[in-house]
Amino acid sequence: MISDEIIERVRTAADVVQIIGEFVPLKRAGGDYRGPCPFHGGTNPNFSVSPKRGSYHCFVCHESGDVFSFVRKRLGLDWPAAVKMIGERVGIEVIDVPMRAQAPDPNAPNHEVLAAAADWFQRQLADDTGREARAYLQQRQLDDAACERFGLGFAPRDPHALRRYLHSLGADDARLLEAGLFVVREGETDPRPRFRGRVMFPILDELGRHVGFGGRALGDDAPKYLNSPESPVFQKRRTLYNLHTAKQGMRRAGRAIVVEGYLDAIRLTLAGIDEVVAPLGTALTDEQAQLLVRYAGEVFLLYDSDEAGQKATFRSGLELLGHKASVRVVTLPENEDPDTFVRDHGRAAMDVQLGLAIDLFDRQVQILERLGWFSDLRRRRIAIDKLLPTIRAARDPLTRDLYLARLADVSHLDKVTLATEADAVAENGRRRAPGTQSGPPDRAADEPYPEFEGTSAEAEPAPLPPPTGDKPVWKGRRNKGNAPEWKTTNIPPRARRDEPVERTLVRAMLADRAVAERVAERHPPSSFRHASYGALFGALLEAALTDDLEQIAERLPAAALAVLQELTDGAVAITVESSDIGLSLSKLDARRLDERVDEIRSAMRTATRDEQDILMRERLELEAELRRLLPIRSPRAKPKG
């Protein structure tokens, strides 16, 4: 025989809509799918397939069942053959084992009493006692159909009603306590209901069995949301709200969407986005991440836009990276959450936001750049330390390599150096000696990932401390002390990277006067940052072709004349290569784009969230153009020039 465990694994993994859809043309109708019945040969859409229940039903001939019974009846297979066929489709090996007596599931009574309580809560919501709860749900734009679809209910304040009802079904107090529905307070003997005066959200496991509840307070009771306690059937860290229905949507969409709360998951599902789950807390646990990647390799994190939501986003992302998931972050407008956003703007607007999702690591880099953490050496060091845990968390080698390349680009450091730094962490946070085993270090099961900070707009980088001690002196080459002293200031001096390209072009202009006109077509003399080179460029451009250098020199200011003398003193004939001029012009183009990127960085500090998104898109376009202009420039610094 085939074990119940294997059968449930195959049933859970099978997409009933996809399998039946190979034999019946199905069209979506609300949360179900409709088509003509293949059993009585109907032509009207009386045949319904429910992905939520994993079943089908014909309203004419009344044929019904699950995915196994459909395959058996449609193809004439026996039970083991049907299970094996579907097992092959979903990649699960089905093996017959010798028949033996099966022990009853010890948790079945808990599932039954929780399901009975869920049914009772639903009836209380529809009764007069649920008037306040219905008003709250209507305020959240959840109608009766939505409440029925998600099994929403109400736990009244009467401390005895639920207990009397469950006793009438044969459940004793020990069962009610073990299922987490009742508690015994200190100093008391009679059980009290755990949930009173709350809107009830039933929590089901991935097989669709009731395991617990989440209760939302209607008044000032604390906490605002209360979950069932840990029990033999409910472990919060291993459970995801709505997974029992979302798992099929995940397979169809090839992705999972994680939101913070029950109402967020309900709202997106009602909008037709089926692949949505919520953790029963804030951030995902390792077990929840493992559950998700079983159904989808790409996970979208759609948390609230506040600071707590962003921190939870990054903690969840690190857990998912540890299971080789591709993690993308959706950033909603300020003061929005998924529930209110879909209510106010609709499904189409949410699809746009999902389309704008960016990789987890890119989002972290984006936040640090907006807050100026790459503006100087000290802050850059801190920014790198903030980003390295994400690289270490990535178990997929290709993802890790991409993250290292991205960090090398933004930090202007060598990728190999960053990889060494990412690997150089040993147990207890101590750095590992170079040359030891590389790769992301293993972490203990109870060791939390470091929190990614700097997520809020208020978290501006701290200013550099005032200088202390003696002023360091740059000794120059071979410690000869022939270079000027580098004075310690809060802002290190800018490297003089303007001169090489301008000097190169002016030298070429002196060799070939046509170069001046070619350069002026894209960059006029006024764009030169070095005044003397700009003056010499302008003079060469305005001079007649018959003018010699002496005539040009007469029209130059003293500083430009000194440059002319320096460039021509003892000069030998030089060859002006077209490729050299093209490269120099590309450097000037890149310099102009770099200036705009710097302007964007500055503007982001005071821009609104929407303006920041527009600026960031422009910046990404500019950086792509920079890579096209100078594809071989070093990641350690901007090109000279």
Which range (68-77, 424-433, 438-447, 612-621) has the least confidence? 438-447
- Residue 241: what are its φ and ψ, rounded to 5°? -65, 130
pLDDT at 491 over 60: no
Q: Distance between CA atoms of 136 and 496, rounded to whole angstroms?
A: 65
CB atoms within 10 A of CB 26: 21
Rg (alpha carbons) of the chain, rounded to whole number: 34
Reported as a single tens digit per residue, the pLDDT across 124-164 is 999 999 999 999 999 999 999 999 999 999 999 999 999 99
pLDDT at 506 over 50: yes
- Predicted confidence band of residue 636 (pLDDT cuts 50, 70, 90): very low
Q: So what's the pLDDT on residue 334?
A: 81
Does this model's pTM top 0.85? My answer is no
Which of 70-79, 285-294, 418-427, 506-515 tops mean pLDDT?
285-294
What is the three-class DSSP state of 27? strand
pLDDT at 405 over 80: yes
pLDDT at 384 over 80: yes
Whether 515 and 576 have beta carbons less than 8 Å apart is answered as yes
Please report the domains of the chain, with CATH numbers, ordered by start residue.
Answer: 4-90 (3.90.580.10), 108-234 (3.90.980.10), 238-356 (3.40.1360.10), 361-472 (no CATH), 499-629 (1.10.860)
What is the three-class DSSP state of 359? strand
- Among the listed residues 233, 196, 200, 193, the one whose alpha carbon sits nearest the alpha carbon of residue 216: 200
Reported as a single tens digit per residue, the pLDDT across 182-194 is 999 888 889 999 9
Q: So what's the pLDDT on residue 469?
A: 39
SS3 string, 135-152, reads: HHHHHCCCCHHHHHHCCC
Reported as a single tens digit per residue, the pLDDT across 430-470 is 444 333 333 333 443 333 333 464 444 334 443 433 433 34
- Better-predicted residue by pLDDT, 5 or 184: 184
The arithmetic mean of pLDDT across residues 557-584, rounded, is 70
Whether 379 and 459 have beta carbons less than 8 Å apart is answered as no
- Predicted confidence band of residue 508 (pLDDT cuts 50, 70, 90): confident
Average pLDDT, the chain: 81
Whether 251 and 17 have beta carbons less than 8 Å apart is answered as no
Q: Distance between CA atoms of 297 and 209, rounded to whole angstroms?
A: 25
- Among the listed residues 204, 214, 202, 266, the one whose alpha carbon sits nearest the alpha carbon of residue 54: 204
- Predicted confidence band of residue 577 (pLDDT cuts 50, 70, 90): low
Q: Which pairs count as long-range contacts for 498-502, CB under 8 Å and 24+ apart, including other chains?
A: 498/529, 498/530, 498/591, 498/641, 499/530, 499/533, 499/641, 500/640, 500/641, 501/584, 501/587, 501/588, 501/591, 501/640, 501/641, 502/528, 502/529, 502/530, 502/533, 502/534, 502/537, 502/641
